[in-house]
Amino acid sequence: MKILIQRTDEVKIVIGGKLHSCSGKGLLLFIGIRTGDSAEMIPYFIEKIINLRIFEDSAGKMNMSVKDIGGEIAAVSQFTLYADTSRGRRPGFSESAPPEMSEPLYNEFIVQLKKTGLKIAEGVFGAHMEISLINNGPATFILER
């Protein structure tokens, strides 16, 4: 599993020309699922994400987590995180889990993320989405296991 995290001030997820969900100050998660990933991995990522100290404290140091600031999280499935661009000009996606495997894992990730008590905005698995954000920093991090 690979998760790209962006620190944000605002996220809007639009599907079919209509606002589907949005979030305020917090995080945008792009969640990539690879063949071989399992639901047992999810608690590690959730704990890491909500406790990762990537927000500034009053001294300007990255000492606060999204949980500490009462932030919000937007989560979107992103199979292209496992794109292989090492050969040719067209990315290969052989490492990305097929939809029948990744969709249940993504859905379980969302279920467990909602148990944190933070406000969660979510995309729709497999949908074409227009995602707009105000990146705070910019600050972008990658979690992988």
Domain boundaries, the chain: 2-144
pLDDT of residue 145: 87
CA distance 121 to 12: 9
pLDDT of residue 9: 98
CA distance 75 to 33: 13
CA distance 90 to 25: 35
Query: What kind of architecture, by CATH, is found in domain 2-144?
Result: 3-Layer(bba) Sandwich (3.50)
* pLDDT, tens digit, 9 for 90 and up, residues 59-92: 999 999 999 999 999 999 999 999 999 999 999 9
Catalytic residue among 35, 80, 85, 140: 80
Evaluate whether 41 touches 1 at the Cβ level (below 8 Å): yes
**SS3 of residue 9 by DSSP:** strand
| CA distance to 9, 101, 111, 132, per residue, from 21 (Å) | 15, 24, 16, 11
pLDDT of residue 98: 95
What residue ranges of the chain have pLDDT lower than 50?
A: none
CA distance 24 to 19: 14
pLDDT of residue 45: 98
35 is known as an active-site residue: no
